[in-house]
Amino acid sequence: MKKIITLTSFILLGIISSPLFAQQNDFIKDYLERLENSRKYLTLVAEIMPEDKYNFKASPDSLTFAENLLHIGYAMDWHSQSLLGGREPRDWSTDTVFKVANKSKEEMIELINKTFDDSIKLISEFDVDLLNNKLDYFGLTRTKRQILLLLTDHITHHRGQMLVYMRLNGLVPPRYVLFQ
């Protein structure tokens, strides 16, 4: 009788946990598709903006178009490699990788694409059992799943600013509907 109860318990556990595991895998699969589409759209936005407009900013307190682009890269690196991957975070005040400095438009686009590649690789190999692990996020407790969602919100926020900069310079941004 004890063997039947044990066997039944294992079978029930398998039946219950299998759909939950599949849902987490589906989350990562769906997330990576969204992130790849975000990359394509951001890259297109960066390519359309003329290089001589990369220093444009809407107000003195705003980031330039180029600073918005590389800020996306810095935040993507921090969210994925540091918060999810456990790597020591870059120090914004001393980091030179994501500073505009003397980078060309082409170099900035290459850097953003490499950062997307690195983030996608880390997330595609991420242990889905860790998605519910919690960590500190600017004084708030957030799960690693929430960190992934915050990352995409952050990309969208700064890309939206870049789209406004395009409009302020007489350019028509690419249609977003193609990247959903």
Indicate the SS3 state at residue 27. helix
71 known member of a binding site: yes
158 is in an annotated binding site: yes
Residue 144 token pair:
């690693």
Q: Three-state SS for 93?
A: coil
| Contact yes or no for 84/145 (Cβ under 8 A) | no
With left for phi above 0 and alpha for psi between -120 and 50, is residue 79 left, alpha or beta? alpha
Runs of H (alpha helix) within the chain = 2-48, 65-77, 105-124, 144-168
Q: Is the dihedral of CA 35, 38, 43, 44 positive or negative?
A: positive
The binding site comprises 71, 154, 158
- Per the annotation, where are the binding residues for a divalent metal cation? 71, 154, 158
